Amino acid sequence: MAGQTLIPAGDFRTSYAADTTVFPTTTSRNAMIAGIALICLAPHVVNEYVLSLLIQIGIFGIAALGLNIVVGFTGQISIGHAAFFGFGAFTSAYLSNRFGIPVFFCIPLAGAVTAAVGLVFGLPAARLKGLYLAIATLAAQYILLDFFARAEWFTGGSVPASAEPFSIFGYMLRGDKQYFYVVLAYVVVCYLLVTNLIRSRDGRALVAVRDHYLSAEIMGINLTKYRTLSFGLAAFFAGVGGALYAHYNQVVSNEGFGIDRSIIFLAMIIIGGLGSIMGTLMGTAFMVLLPESMEWLSVALRDSPIDQFLGLKNNIAFLREMAIGLIIIIFLVFEPDGLAHRWRQIKAYWKLYPFSH
Amino acid sequence: MNTQLLIQLLVNGLVVGTLYGVVAMSFVLIYKATQVVNFAQGELLLVGAWVCWWLLTKYQVPFYLGMPITLVFMFLFGIAIQIVILRPMIGEPIISVIMVTIALSTVFSALMKWMFGVNLQPFPRIFQTQNVNILGLQVQTVYLMSLAVSVAMMVGMAWFFRLSKYGLAMRATAFNQQVAQSLGISVKSVFAMAWAISATVSAVAGVVVAVVNGVSAGLSAYGVKVFPAAILGGLDSVGGAVLGGIIIGLLENVAHFLDSEYLHWGNLYEIAPFYALIIILMIKPYGLFGTKDIERV
């Protein structure tokens, strides 16, 4: 089956291996490899601004992937993801500053420490579900933020903590161009990991918990274990994303890990598509570009009557916030399955073109 | 031990707590009738307060006229939100419904900041006398008004649910939507009415807070404090919400007292309700009066 270049018009899969394969055809595998190779060229082609956007998409994409495990695949609700993202950032900075651990090891270590914290905050998930869980994670968000403000030994309190630049085997990486490859490597590894996780026994257990938790329990899936595990996994990816964010900015301040960031993470996976791995990346790209497009809009409309009436330039922050809220509502009402669903429809349309029915 | 400060803080806690109770009550009302957890409750407060402030300062409308106009506006506003945004979400998974209300809160808070700015605006003076002397304790008039309004709203709500025909219809819908529909209750209008009443009651609370402290974007914090209050009382118990609100209000101020007198950790005032929330969820997730929903496999 894997030898085929195009998907046949119908289901001809005869083995489990064929059913769970990552790339259904050789064309799709080659296209993915070519795509990654093409992105590798990006730092030499695009300017600084576009490059910084690409890096942000990568970093937030990893964190959003974690959130998609807990929300999209396991069906639990988490409104405190940004706090874990922040925890990863502070942990990585702390580990490299305090213990002199090379940044190369700090990033996965930060992920592991954040995963442990995620497991602790995931414990309520063993007993609670739905709304109660949503509110418990909201409390986790506020408690962790309070901890950041309080624990000066860990975060530096009101003074932002500094984070070492990324280095590998004594070779210091400087500038966005080199850091881009670090982020790209992490994105590829994380996305491959999660793709394979979902194909595995544990991944299927997570999906079963989402689809019908009572049936899942009857089938012998340990609900407590998998619900808590999903929070740990989500926190792991949030921690890795946060650590990458810390070493990208090289300072970690207390701001930017609040509830509004959590909402943006949720928006990313809803717009991308709940329970879709590639959709997560699409949604992240969408949510990173949306506030920027508001900026472009305000520049384009400068000194026009609309601008004078609304005062766009001075209120750009509010415009961004509103755009985020509005886009979430629009997607939920009109396209609840997200961009991934739209992408599948486009593919299905072209597969049978010109005989679409 | 500083008794004077403690009494002052307890009074404070009682006043703030009843306000939390009122907001939690309107939050529970929406949850009970429509099964929607409203993360935008704080923004309803905010919108109400800003509208009233706007009428009073920009158009110089007297308070006794401005307040009813605000309430009518909020009533229609609540219906509009339900029809335009929440109605298409019926039958969607819980995460979508929660996200819609979170998104609504983002939109409203940004819109309010855009329209009215981020600075604290003082509310026009309503009372001539600042303080009243009760049993040797100087109490601000606005506090008394706040307490009176809160209690009045709670009594009004109790009357509405226990004795009015519409309240009965609402309780029936909360109990079982299909049965209610088969008995000739328009579930659609009950849903809209739940939002309308909730928005109106929140607006009253918003105006009360605005009279006491002035209007600013920070008002929406009341919407977050609703969660500890409502969870403590039980998510689907109106009476529990009121009690939960008062307890959370008192807890905040006791935490503040302990913090300033003994512990000196700072900021305990803001975070204590959330620790309480986690503890409640761990040991008694359905609150004091909530319906227990126990499943065993």
Q: CA–CA distance from B16 to each of A21, A353, B139, B229, B248 (Å)? A: 58, 64, 14, 12, 9
Checking if the pLDDT of A9 tops 80, the result is: no
Chain B, nearest residue to A218 by Cα: B297
Comparing A5-14, A276-285, B22-31, B171-180, which segment has the lowest mean pLDDT? Answer: A5-14
The predicted model gives A40-46 an average pLDDT of 85
SS3 B59: coil
Q: What is the pLDDT of residue A157?
A: 67
Q: What is the pLDDT of residue B154?
A: 86
User: What's the mean pLDDT when you consider all of chain B?
Assistant: 84
Distance, in Å, from the CA atom of B210 to the CA atom of B202, rounded to the nearest integer, reads 12
Distance, in Å, from the CA atom of A130 to the CA atom of A57, rounded to the nearest integer, reads 29
Pick the more confident residue, A157 or B233.
Answer: B233
Distance, in Å, from the CA atom of B44 to the CA atom of B162, rounded to the nearest integer, reads 25
Chain B, nearest residue to A131 by Cα: B37
Q: Tell me which residue in B88, B228, B266 faces A333 most closely, judged by beta carbons.
A: B88
Across B96-170, where does the E strand assignment appear? 131-134, 137-140
Q: What is the pLDDT of residue A1?
A: 45
Q: What is the pLDDT of residue A238?
A: 94
Distance, in Å, from the CA atom of A145 to the CA atom of A79, rounded to the nearest integer, reads 13
Interval A67-125: pLDDT, tens: 999 998 998 888 889 999 999 999 988 888 888 788 888 889 999 999 999 988 888 77
Checking if the pLDDT of B166 tops 90, the result is: no
Q: Does A347 touch chain B (CB under 8 A)?
A: no
Distance, in Å, from the CA atom of B203 to the CA atom of A59, rounded to the nearest integer, reads 41
Nearest to B114, CA basis, from A303, A320, A298, A263: A320
User: Strand A167-168 relative to strand A161-162: parallel, antiparallel, unpaired?
Assistant: unpaired
B135 — pLDDT class (breaks 50, 70, 90): low
Checking if the pLDDT of B90 tops 70, the result is: yes
Q: What is the pLDDT of residue A54?
A: 92
How close B238 comes to chain A (CA, Å)? 17
- At A33, list the tokens: 């490899």
Q: Does A142 touch chain B (CB under 8 A)?
A: yes
Contact B104 A325 (CB under 8 A): yes
Comparing B114-128, B187-201, B238-252, which segment has the lowest mean pLDDT? Answer: B114-128
Q: pTM value?
A: 0.88
Q: What is the pLDDT of residue B1?
A: 65
Contact B166/B194 with Cβ under 8 angstroms? no
DSSP string, B246-293: HHHHHHHHHHHHHIIIII--S-HHHHHHHHHHHHHHHH-TTTTTPPP-
User: Which of A328, A335, A337 should one mutate to test binding to chain B, selecting the residue with the greatest count of B CBs within 10 A?
Assistant: A328
Contact B23/B46 with Cβ under 8 angstroms? no
User: Which of A67, A69, A132, A274 should one mutate to test binding to chain B, selecting the residue with the greatest count of B CBs within 10 A?
Assistant: A132
Checking if the pLDDT of B136 tops 70, the result is: no
Interval A232-260: pLDDT, tens: 999 999 999 999 998 888 888 888 888 88
Q: Does B279 touch chain A (CB under 8 A)?
A: no
**Residues of chain A with C-beta less than 8 angstroms from the C-beta of B279:** none
Distance, in Å, from the CA atom of B174 to the CA atom of B18, rounded to the nearest integer, reads 25
Q: Does B14 touch chain A (CB under 8 A)?
A: no
Q: CA–CA distance from B143 to each of A88, B16, B136, B242 (Å)? A: 44, 9, 16, 18
Q: Does A217 touch chain B (CB under 8 A)?
A: yes
Comparing A65-74, A162-171, A347-356, B115-124, which segment has the lowest mean pLDDT? Answer: A162-171
Comparing A53-62, A200-209, B134-143, B225-234, which segment has the lowest mean pLDDT? Answer: B134-143
The predicted model gives A140-164 an average pLDDT of 79
Q: Does A336 touch chain B (CB under 8 A)?
A: yes
Contact A132 B275 (CB under 8 A): no
Checking if the pLDDT of A165 tops 50, the result is: yes
Residue at token pair 């049993």:
B135
Q: Does A220 touch chain B (CB under 8 A)?
A: no
Cβ under 8 Å to B: A residues 272-291: 274
Interval A173-182: pLDDT, tens: 677 788 888 8
Torsion angle, alpha carbons of A343, A345, A351, A357, to 10: -170
Phi-psi category of residue A256: left, alpha or beta, with phi > 0 → left and psi -120 to 50 → alpha: left
Phi-psi category of residue A255: left, alpha or beta, with phi > 0 → left and psi -120 to 50 → alpha: beta
Phi-psi category of residue A47: left, alpha or beta, with phi > 0 → left and psi -120 to 50 → alpha: beta
Q: What is the pLDDT of residue B200?
A: 92
Q: CA–CA distance from B100 to each of A326, B52, B82, B97, B189 (Å)? A: 9, 26, 11, 5, 20
Distance, in Å, from the CA atom of A114 to the CA atom of A242, rounded to the nearest integer, reads 10
Q: How many CA atoms lie within 13 A of B271 on its CB side?
A: 16
Contact A132 B88 (CB under 8 A): no
Q: What is the pLDDT of residue A236?
A: 94
The predicted model gives A47-65 an average pLDDT of 91
Pick the more confident residue, A321 or A308.
Answer: A321
Checking if the pLDDT of A170 tops 90, the result is: no
Nearest to A202, CA basis, from A239, A231, A224, A229: A229
**Residues of chain A with C-beta less than 8 angstroms from the C-beta of B96:** 270, 332, 336
Checking if the pLDDT of A310 tops 80, the result is: no
How close A188 comes to chain B (CA, Å)? 28
The predicted model gives A25-41 an average pLDDT of 87
Contact A313/A234 with Cβ under 8 angstroms? no
